[in-house]
């Protein structure tokens, strides 16, 4: 088991050690893309993941998951190559479509592989701790990439892309070294559509699964999607490319801490996490209202709170699933998240172009607080209904 965990952790580390990651949104702006065009290329990523999310989960339940993870890396490598050769709007669009394929065939697949390996050893109760550490190492990977990007920022985006391709090659090797997840192979006997229907039906008929999927999807949309715009926030408040990379690194350092501590707060009531979303939303509104170089510190805390909530609810989802369709149902969550992510991109870019990035960030913070408040009120109402007369 220790060998498996070492390989899984190494995969997450190199999957995230992407030197271009802290700077690619700024690269889009430097290439002359407008706020709407930035949203369009990000929507291309989100829409691809949206369309392929559930089918990818079905594939991951029917084929060895390690090869699914390895093949997904090749798509992102091809996308970065396109960016290197063709650094314009259509090249960025094509590259993010390929990145969307990578995301679709990784989201849910890795989590399902880890949970099934732990379950085979009777250690599924450790899942939140293990996946928290894996995500913490992913955040460390981004942190290291951010530090590297800060050092090479003056040497051009091509150097960062070359380093990213090298890391992808290592991630592919780590994925190939993972187990084949034999417990998922029994699902090969079912047809593709039958397996997809079974996974969707199971998610639909379990209220707890649906509740976790919807909330986790909202957290991913308002947390993960907005992270793509943090470098632009930094650029607009006057940070240099090197400082933007360090800002992204600081965010991921706090996210690593949040992921490491997630198992310690996993037993908290749902209302506590809804309250954290309200706090996070208030922080983002304040950061956008100040809109100064120092206000990026509030974005760092926002990211940490959202990542903590995401990891805890990922664990609750895995424990709520009791079937061979684990990757499919995990991908249903990803599918739902992409609906939210795409909606945010559709609204954020045009709002930023019609007003300003500052106003768009304030609106996103208000939406985060509103989601937290709505779910908190609904949770308290549910408790009152269940209370004895």
Which of 274, 275, 241, 233 is closest to 364 using CA atoms? 233
Encode pLDDT of 154-201 as tens digits: 788 899 999 999 999 999 999 888 876 544 444 444 555 565 566 667
pLDDT of residue 94: 95
Please answer whether residues 87 and 157 qualify as being in contact, where contact means their C-beta atoms are separated by less than 8 angstroms. Answer: yes
pLDDT of residue 257: 81
Which of 326, 362, 270 is closest to 118 using CA atoms? 326
Please answer whether residues 346 and 273 qualify as being in contact, where contact means their C-beta atoms are separated by less than 8 angstroms. Answer: no
Burial of 56 (0-12, 13-18, 19+ CB in 10 A): buried
Which of 347, 342, 339, 353 is closest to 366 using CA atoms? 347
Low-confidence ranges of the chain (pLDDT < 70): 1, 54, 180-200, 202-204, 206-207, 321-328, 330-331, 334, 381-389
Taking the C-alpha atoms of 338, 213, 274 and 291 in order, what is their torsion angle to the nearest 10 degrees? -10
Tokens coding 245: 């990379």
Encode pLDDT of 59-118 as tens digits: 777 777 888 898 999 999 999 999 999 999 999 999 999 998 998 888 778 888 888 788
Tokens coding 190: 């079912």
Please answer whether residues 137 and 9 qualify as being in contact, where contact means their C-beta atoms are separated by less than 8 angstroms. Answer: yes
Tokens coding 214: 């919807």
Could you tell me which residues come within 8 angstroms of residue 90 by beta carbon, excluding any fewer than 6 positions away? none
What's the 3-state SS for the chain?
CHHHHHHHHHHHHHHHCCCCCCCHHHHHHHCCCCHHHHHHHHHHHHHHHHHHHHHHHHHHHHCCHHHHHHHHHHHHHHHHHHHHHCCCHHHHHHHHHHHHHHHHCCCCHHHHHHHHHHHHCCCHHHHHHHHHHHHHHHHHHHHHHHHHHHHHHHHCHHHHHHHHHHHHHHHHHHHHCCCCCHHHHHHHHCCHHHHHHHHHHHHHHCHHHHHHHHHHHHHHHHHHHHHCCHHHHHHHCCCCHHHHHHHHHHHHHHHHHHHHHHHHCCCCCHHHHHHHHHHHHHHHHHHHHHCCHHHHHHHHHHHHHHHHHHHHHHHHHHHHCCCCCHHHHHHHHHHHHHHHHHHHHHHHHHHHHHCCHHHHHHHHHHHHHHHHHHHHHHHHHHHHHHCCC
pLDDT of residue 386: 52
pLDDT of residue 105: 87
pLDDT of residue 136: 80
Residue in this structure with the two tokens 């697949």, named with its chain if needed:
109
pLDDT of residue 196: 56
pLDDT of residue 323: 54
Q: What is the total residue count of the chain?
A: 389
Please answer whether residues 229 and 102 qualify as being in contact, where contact means their C-beta atoms are separated by less than 8 angstroms. Answer: no
Distance of CA 8 to the CA centre of its chain: 17
């Amino acid at each position: 088991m220790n060998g498996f965990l070492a390989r899984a952790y190494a995969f997450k580390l190199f999957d995230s050690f992407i030197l271009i990651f802290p700077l690619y949104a700024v690269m889009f702006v430097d290439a002359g893309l407008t706020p709407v065009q930035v949203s369009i290329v990000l929507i291309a990523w989100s829409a691809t993941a949206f369309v392929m999310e559930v089918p990818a989960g079905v594939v991951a339940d029917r084929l060895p998951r390690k090869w699914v993870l390895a093949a997904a890396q090749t798509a992102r490598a091809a996308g970065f190559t396109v960016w290197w050769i063709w650094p314009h709007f259509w090249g960025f669009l094509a590259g993010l479509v390929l990145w969307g394929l990578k995301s679709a065939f990784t989201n849910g697949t890795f989590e399902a592989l880890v949970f099934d390996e732990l379950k085979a050893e009777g250690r599924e109760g450790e899942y939140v701790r293990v996946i928290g550490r894996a995500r913490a190492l992913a955040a460390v990977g981004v942190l290291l990439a951010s530090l590297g990007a800060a050092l090479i920022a003056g040497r051009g985006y091509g150097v960062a892309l070359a380093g990213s391709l090298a890391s992808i090659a290592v991630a592919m090797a780590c994925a190939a070294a993972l187990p084949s997840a034999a417990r998922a192979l029994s699902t090969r006997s079912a047809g593709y559509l039958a397996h997809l229907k079974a996974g969707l039906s199971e998610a639909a008929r379990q209220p707890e699964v649906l509740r976790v999927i919807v909330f986790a999807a909202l957290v991913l949309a308002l947390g993960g999607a907005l992270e793509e715009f943090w470098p632009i926030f930094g650029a607009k408040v006057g940070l240099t490319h090197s400082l933007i990379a360090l800002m992204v690194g600081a965010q991921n350092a706090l996210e690593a801490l949040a992921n490491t501590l997630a198992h310690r707060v996993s037993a908290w009531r749902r209302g506590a996490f809804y309250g954290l979303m309200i706090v996070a939303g208030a922080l983002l509104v304040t950061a956008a209202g100040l809109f100064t170089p120092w206000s990026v510190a509030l974005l760092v805390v926002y990211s940490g709170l959202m990542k903590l909530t995401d990891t805890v609810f990922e664990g609750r989802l895995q424990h709520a699933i009791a079937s061979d369709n684990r990757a499919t149902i995990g991908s249903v969550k990803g599918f739902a998240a992409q609906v939210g992510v795409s909606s945010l991109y559709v609204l954020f870019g045009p709002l930023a172009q019609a007003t300003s990035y500052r106003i768009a960030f304030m609106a996103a913070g208000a939406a985060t607080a509103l989601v937290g408040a709505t779910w908190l009120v609904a949770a308290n109402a549910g408790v009152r209904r269940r209370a004895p007369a």
